[in-house]
Amino acid sequence: MATHAPSTQRLFTAIAWLLLLLILVLSIVPVDYRPITPIPHDLEHAAIFMLTGLAFGLGSTRRRYWTQIIGLIAFSAAIEMVQLGIPGRHARLRDFLVDAVSASIGVGLAFVDENGGGPGVRLRERQKK
């Protein structure tokens, strides 16, 4: 089972909140101020939301993975709703789905880390005995 030191957990938590703030800012600024990257749109969304989910999962002192997943899905929905009222921005179901799934995968990766590789690893360890 992977256990992170309290200072490492605080670092992951700080990174998670900074990523959430970055997502918020990039989602509400006018399109002209949004950075342009060579990375495909869906991959940009997937990467930042997966990293955010992973950081929240690794930074949690109490492993409430389902709460984190639900919170990040709600945040993903809220971001798309807010964009409805911003000129030049568009709320897209596809963006919401990519964001929600990617954040959930990120939290899931933290769960696998916490549980030493997940159920498959524990099953193989029991079979060796």
pLDDT tens-digit series, residues 14-62: 999 999 999 999 999 988 888 889 999 999 999 999 999 999 999 987 7
How far apart (Å, rounded) are the C-alpha atoms in residues 98 and 70?
A: 15
Q: Establish if 52 belongs to a structural domain.
A: yes
Task: Output the pLDDT for position 75.
Answer: 98
Residues present in the chain in total: 129
- The total number of structural domains in the chain stands at 1
What SS3 state is found at 41?
helix
Q: Which pTM was predicted?
A: 0.84
How far apart (Å, rounded) are the C-alpha atoms in residues 49 and 72?
A: 9
Q: Establish if 76 belongs to a structural domain.
A: yes
pLDDT tens-digit series, residues 62-84: 768 899 999 999 999 999 999 99
How far apart (Å, rounded) are the C-alpha atoms in residues 7 and 97?
A: 33
Q: Establish if 1 belongs to a structural domain.
A: no
Q: Establish if 71 belongs to a structural domain.
A: yes
Which range of residues forms the domain containing residue 107? Answer: 6-29+41-128
